[in-house]
Amino acid sequence: MSYYLPLMMFCFSTSITPGPNNLMIMMSGAKFGIRRSFPHYLGICLGFAIMVTLVGIGLGEVFTHFPILHLIIKYVGALYMLYLAWKTIRSTSELDTVTAKSRPVNFMQAILFQWINPKAWIMAVGVISAYSVVNANMFTQALVIAAIYFIIGLPCTGMWFVGGVAVSKYLKTPRHLQYFNLTMGLLLILSILLMFLEGH
Q: Which of 13, 74, 50 is nearest to 150 (CA)?
A: 50
Whether 168 is in a domain gets the answer: yes
pLDDT tens digits for range 134-143 = 777 888 889 9
Q: Is the dihedral of CA 50, 53, 192, 163 positive or negative?
A: positive
Whether 141 is in a domain gets the answer: yes
Containing structural domain, residue 78:
38-94+103-198
Whether 2 is in a domain gets the answer: no
Whether 62 is in a domain gets the answer: yes
Please tell me the predicted confidence (pLDDT) of residue 96: 45
Name the stretches of the chain with pLDDT < 50: 1, 94-96, 99-100, 200
Whether 117 is in a domain gets the answer: yes
Rounded CA separation 87/74 (Å): 20
Rounded CA separation 99/74 (Å): 34
The number of domains in the chain is 1
For residue 31, the Cα-to-chain-centroid distance in whole angstroms is 18
Please tell me the predicted confidence (pLDDT) of residue 1: 46
Whether 159 is in a domain gets the answer: yes
CB atoms within 10 A of CB 173: 11
Whether 6 is in a domain gets the answer: no
Whether 123 is in a domain gets the answer: yes
Please tell me the predicted confidence (pLDDT) of residue 60: 62
pLDDT tens digits for range 58-97 = 866 676 677 787 677 777 777 877 887 787 777 655 444 5
